[in-house]
């Protein structure tokens, strides 16, 4: 760790090789200014999904925690498959949209079926084969969970999950 430099004059004479000065106060002021700037400057963003936070790790745990947070009632939470990788998400009061990077539809479907059982609307692919979507309904799961994938968005394939609190879609 770099040593702080004091720009104030010592308040008392040196004792034991240390000056009683304002180093701590100066460091606190500098950190208060620089810390938020470092956070903003180092945060990642996705040009295809402006306003979405970027995350990575086990997306399965994130999806389940988000679903439970919006009222979903999983049948099972232990022994479910992991979804390692990157994702983007945007949360609001009544729901969250999560975008997994890549073609992860089969893995996401296995996670959701393991946690919630069979969906109310089984996944179907549209006529041109570009969009596949399935739905878990609020009465049985406690929240509406829609999942699917689109062929490409800005040259990147995303697997999507939308979780909405029961009663928010009226």
pLDDT at 100: 96
pLDDT at 153: 65
Q: Which two tokens stand for residue 90?
A: 């945007």
Say whether 169 sits in a helix, a strand or coil. coil
Residue 42 CB burial class (10 angstroms; 0-12, 13-18, ≥19)? exposed
pLDDT at 37: 34
pLDDT at 17: 47
d(CA 109, CA 151): 17
pLDDT at 28: 37
CA 47 to chain CA centroid, nearest Å: 16
pLDDT at 97: 97
Listing DSSP states for 26-49 in one string gives: HHHHHHHHHHHHHHHHH----TTS
pLDDT along the chain (170 residues), means of 10: 42 45 37 35 70 96 96 94 96 96 93 94 82 84 89 80 85
pLDDT at 156: 82
Torsion from C-alpha of 117, 120, 126, 130, nearest 10 degrees: -40
Sketch the domain layout of the chain as residue ranges.
Answer: 1-43, 53-165
């Amino acid at each position: 760790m770099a040593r702080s430099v004091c720009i104030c004059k010592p308040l008392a004479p040196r004792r034991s090789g240390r000056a009683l000065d304002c180093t701590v106060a100066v460091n606190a002021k500098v950190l208060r200014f620089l810390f938020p700037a470092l956070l903003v400057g180092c945060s990642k963003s996705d040009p295809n999904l402006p306003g979405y936070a970027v995350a990575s790790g086990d997306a399965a745990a994130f999806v389940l925690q988000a679903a439970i947070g919006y009222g979903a009632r999983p049948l099972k939470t232990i022994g479910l498959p992991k979804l390692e990788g990157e994702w983007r998400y945007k949360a609001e009061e009544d729901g969250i949209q999560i975008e997994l990077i890549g073609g992860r539809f089969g893995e996401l479907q296995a996670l959701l079926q393991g946690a919630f059982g069979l969906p109310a609307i089984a996944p179907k692919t549209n006529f041109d084969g570009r969009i596949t979507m399935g739905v878990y309904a609020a009465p049985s799961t406690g929240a509406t969970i829609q999942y699917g994938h689109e062929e490409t968005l800005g040259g990147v394939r995303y697997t999507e999950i939308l979780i909405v609190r029961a009663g928010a879609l009226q």
